[in-house]
């Protein structure tokens, strides 16, 4: 049940944000500080999420094969690989490192 609550609240919030952008008159949200903050918020959130999902398991910090996978994704991004290839590199390298028994 609590998952459905999370789904509903997030869906409403995210849709409201999308509709707001299309509907408000030009210039209302164009304050420079607001614009910069909204540009930086996803940077902070995505960086924290990337780190947490790579280096944690439950509530504990871990270093496992996902770190190698993320390294492969970073390399693919530096080489300007397309989106799907970046994800594939992360998945394949993680699986390979586990299969070889180099890391859990």
Partner 1 sequence: MPTAPEESPRGTQGDDRAVIRDALGVGVAVGLSGFAFGVTAAEAGVSVAQACALSLLIFTGASQFALVGALAAGAGPLTAAAGAFFLGVRNAFYGLRLAALLRLPRGLRPFAAHMVIDETAAVTLAQTTRRGARIGFTVTGLTLFVLWNVTTLLGALGAGAIGDTATWGLDAAGPAVFLALLAPMLRTGVARATAALAVVLGLGLLPVLPGGVPVLLAATAAPAVLLLHGLRARRRGRGPADDSAEAGPVDDPGPVDDPGPVDDPGAEEPEPETGTGPGEERR
Q: Which 45-64 residues touch partner 1, going by CB under 8 A?
A: 45-56, 58-61
101 binds partner 1 (CB under 8 A): no
Smallest gap from residue 71 Cβ to partner 1 (A): 10
Residue 29 in the binding site for partner 1 (CB under 8 A): yes
Note whether 97 and 68 are within 8 A (CB): yes
96 binds partner 1 (CB under 8 A): yes
Alpha-carbon radius of gyration of the chain: 19
Give the CA distances from residue 37 to residues 1, 14, 25, 57, 63, in Å, rounded to whole numbers and listed in that order: 34, 18, 20, 30, 32
Q: Tell me the three state secondary structure of residue 59.
A: coil
Smallest gap, in angstroms, from Cβ of residue 83 to partner 1? 4
Candidate residues 83, 100, 101, 103; the one interacting with partner 1 per rule CB under 8 A: 83
């Amino acid at each position: 049940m609590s998952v459905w609550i999370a789904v509903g609240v997030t869906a409403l919030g995210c849709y409201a944000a999308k509709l707001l952008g299309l509907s408000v008159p030009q210039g209302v949200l164009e304050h420079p500080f607001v614009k910069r903050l909204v540009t930086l918020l996803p940077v902070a959130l995505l960086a924290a999420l990337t780190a947490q999902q790579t280096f944690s398991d439950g509530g504990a910090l871990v270093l496992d094969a996902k770190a190698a996978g993320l390294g492969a994704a970073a390399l693919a991004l530096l080489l300007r690989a397309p989106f799907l290839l970046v994800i594939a590199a992360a998945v394949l390298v993680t699986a390979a490192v586990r299969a070889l028994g180099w890391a859990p």
